Amino acid sequence: MFKSIIEILLKGFFSGQEIETTDLLKADQQIKGLLHNILLLLGGTLMFCMGLYRYSQGNNVLAAIEFSLLGIMILLYILSFFKISFNVLSFFTMLSLIAIATIAISGDLYIIGMLVSILFPIIFLLLFGLKIGIALSMLLLMVIVVLRFPFFFTPGFNQYFHLGIVGLYFFMVIIQIFNALSLNFRNNVIANITNSLRAEHDQMAAMKDNLKTAIFLLNEKIEIQPQYSRSLETIVQEEDLAGENFLTILSSSIKPKDIKTLEYFFDMVINRKFESEMLEDINPLTQFVFINRKTLEEKTLRCTFSPITGKDNKPYLLATMEDITREIELQQQLSEEDNRRQNEMNAVYEIVHLDSQVLLDFIEDADFEFSHINAILKADKRSTPTQVLNEIYNSIHSIKSNALILGLNSYSQQLHSYEDEIKSIRNLDKEPTFEDFLRLTFLLETLIKTNDGFKQIIDKISAFSKKSTAQKDEIKVFAELLEENVRKTSLGKGKIVNLKITELDEQVIQRGPRRIIKDMITQLLRNSVSHGIEAPEDRITLGKTEAGNITLSITTANDNIHIVLQDDGKGIDFTAVAEKAKQLNLLNETELTNQSKLLNLLFSTNFSTAKIVDLYAGRGAGLSIVKKTINDMNGTLKLKTKENVGVKWTIDIPFKA
Amino acid sequence: MEKYITPFIVACEEVFAHFVGTKLTAERPYITQKDEEHEWVVSGIIGFSREARGAVVISMRKEPALKITEMLTGKKHSDIDEEVIDAIGEIVNIIAGNAKKGLEESFKLAISLPTIVRGLNHDITWPGDSARVIAVPFKIFEDESICLSIAMESLAGNSNV
Amino acid sequence: MKTILVVDDSQIMRNIVKNTFLLIKIPCSFIEADNGQDALKELEKNPVDLVLLDWNMPRLSGIDFLKQVRANSKYAKLPIIMVTSEAAKYNVIEALQSGATDYIIKPINEKKFTEKILKIDL
Per CB-CB distance under 8 Å, the chain A contacts of C96 are 264, 268, 273-274, 282
Per CB-CB distance under 8 Å, the chain B contacts of A446 are 159-160
Q: Are B121 and B26 in contact (CB under 8 A)?
A: no
Q: Are C2 and C49 in contact (CB under 8 A)?
A: yes
Instruction: Collect the ranges in chain C with pLDDT lower than 70.
Output: 86-87, 122
Q: Which residues of A10-40 are buried (b: 16+ CB within 10 A; e: fewer)?
A: eeebbbebeeeeeeeeeeeebeebbebbebb
Whether the predicted pLDDT of A327 surpasses 80: yes
Query: Which runs of consecutive H residues, i.e. helices, occur in A58-156?
Result: 60-79, 86-106, 110-117, 120-148
> For residue C91, what pLDDT is reported?
83
Q: Which residue out of C67, C90, C112 would a mutagenesis test of the A interface target, given it has the greatest number of A Cβ atoms within 10 Å?
A: C90
Whether the predicted pLDDT of A611 surpasses 60: no
Whether the predicted pLDDT of A606 surpasses 70: no
Q: Do C94 and A284 touch (CB under 8 A)?
A: no
Least CB-CB distance to A377: which of B6, B26, B29? B29
- CA dist., res. C1 & res. A161, Å (int): 107
Q: For the beta carbon of residue B97, count every other beta carbon within 10 angstroms.
A: 14
> For residue B76, what pLDDT is reported?
87
DSSP string, C72-117: SGGGTT--EEEEES---HHHHHHHHHHT-SEEEESSPPHHHHHHHH
Least CB-CB distance to C89: which of A267, A268, A282? A282
Which chains are adjacent to chain A, needing at least 3 Cβ pairs under 8 Å?
A: B, C
Average pLDDT, chain A: 83
Whether the predicted pLDDT of A301 surpasses 90: yes
pLDDT digits (tens, 9 = 90+) for A165-214: 889 999 999 999 998 899 889 989 999 999 999 999 888 888 777 788 89
Q: Are B25 and B139 in contact (CB under 8 A)?
A: yes
Torsion of CA A228, A229, A232, A233, to 10 degrees: 90
Least CB-CB distance to A264: which of C93, C102, C103? C93
pLDDT digits (tens, 9 = 90+) for A46-91: 888 888 888 888 888 888 888 888 898 888 888 888 877 888 888 8
**How far B132 CA sits from the closest chain A CA (Å)?**
8
Q: Are B85 and B159 in contact (CB under 8 A)?
A: no
Query: At A149, which amino acid appears?
Result: F
| % of chain B exceeding 90 in pLDDT | 4
Q: Which residue out of C66, C96, C105 would a mutagenesis test of the A interface target, given it has the greatest number of A Cβ atoms within 10 Å?
A: C96
Per CB-CB distance under 8 Å, the chain A contacts of B128 are none
Among A177-186, A607-616, B23-32, where is mean pLDDT lowest?
A607-616
Whether the predicted pLDDT of B159 surpasses 90: no
Mean pLDDT of B79-88: 86
pLDDT digits (tens, 9 = 90+) for A488-513: 778 877 888 989 888 888 888 777 78
Among A272-276, A366-370, C99-103, C106-110, where is mean pLDDT lowest?
C106-110
DSSP string, B102-126: HHHHHH-EEEPPPEEEESTT-----
The secondary structure of residue A534, as a DSSP letter, is P
Stretch (H or E) spanning C31: strand C28-33
Least CB-CB distance to C89: which of A268, A274, A284? A284
Whether the predicted pLDDT of A554 surpasses 60: yes
Q: For the beta carbon of residue A88, count every other beta carbon within 10 angstroms.
A: 10
Left if phi > 0, otherwise alpha if psi is -120 to 50, otherwise beta: which for A639? beta
For chains C and B, having 3+ Cβ pairs within 8 Å is answered no
Whether the predicted pLDDT of A612 surpasses 50: no
> For residue B161, what pLDDT is reported?
35
- CA dist., res. B47 & res. B96, Å (int): 9
Q: Do A441 and B29 touch (CB under 8 A)?
A: yes
**Residue A608 pLDDT grade (very low, low, confident, very high; cuts 50, 70, 90):** low
> For residue C104, what pLDDT is reported?
85
Whether the predicted pLDDT of B114 surpasses 70: yes
Q: Which residue out of A258, A267, A282, A285 would a mutagenesis test of the C interface target, given it has the greatest number of C Cβ atoms within 10 Å?
A: A282
Q: Are A532 and A645 in contact (CB under 8 A)?
A: no
**Between B148 and A1, residue with greater pLDDT:** B148
**Residue B158 pLDDT grade (very low, low, confident, very high; cuts 50, 70, 90):** very low
Give the CA distances from residue A36 to residues A39, A78, A90, A114, C89, in Å, rounded to whole numbers and listed in that order: 5, 12, 7, 21, 71
> For residue A290, what pLDDT is reported?
92
Whether the predicted pLDDT of A311 surpasses 90: no
Torsion of CA A25, A28, A30, A32, to 10 degrees: -140
- CA dist., res. C68 & res. A546, Å (int): 63
The residues that bridge with A218 in the sheet, in sequence order, are A224, A317
Whether the predicted pLDDT of B155 surpasses 60: no
Whether the predicted pLDDT of A621 surpasses 60: no
| Chain-centroid distance, C-alpha A413 | 33
From chain A residues 315-374, the ones with a CB under 8 A of any chain B CB are: 333-334, 336-337, 340, 370, 374
State whether residue C93 sits within 8 Å of chain A by CB.
Answer: yes
Per CB-CB distance under 8 Å, the chain A contacts of B143 are none
Mean pLDDT of A261-274: 91
- Give me the half-sphere count of Cα atoms (radius 13 Å) on the Cβ side of residue B154: 17
Q: Report which of A284, A283, A290 is spatially closest to residue A324, judged by C-alpha positions.
A: A290
**Between A591 and A94, residue with greater pLDDT:** A94
Listed in sequence order, the residues at least 6 apart from A516 whose beta carbon sits closer than 8 Å to its beta carbon are A629, A633
DSSP string, A282-320: H-TTSSEEEE-TTT--EEEEEEEEEEEE-TTS-EEEEEE
Q: Report which of A607, A407, A606 is spatially closest to residue A492, judged by C-alpha positions.
A: A407
The secondary structure of residue A614, as a DSSP letter, is -
**Between A620 and B59, residue with greater pLDDT:** B59
The secondary structure of residue A224, as a DSSP letter, is B
**Residue A323 pLDDT grade (very low, low, confident, very high; cuts 50, 70, 90):** very high
Per CB-CB distance under 8 Å, the chain B contacts of A329 are none
Q: Do C97 and A274 touch (CB under 8 A)?
A: no
Give the burial class of B11: count Cβ atoms within 10 A of its Cβ; 0-12 exposed, 13-18 middle, 19 or more buried: buried
Whether the predicted pLDDT of A526 surpasses 90: no
Query: At A108, which amino acid appears?
Result: D
Peptide bond into C107 cis (omega under 30): yes
State whether residue C97 sits within 8 Å of chain A by CB.
Answer: yes
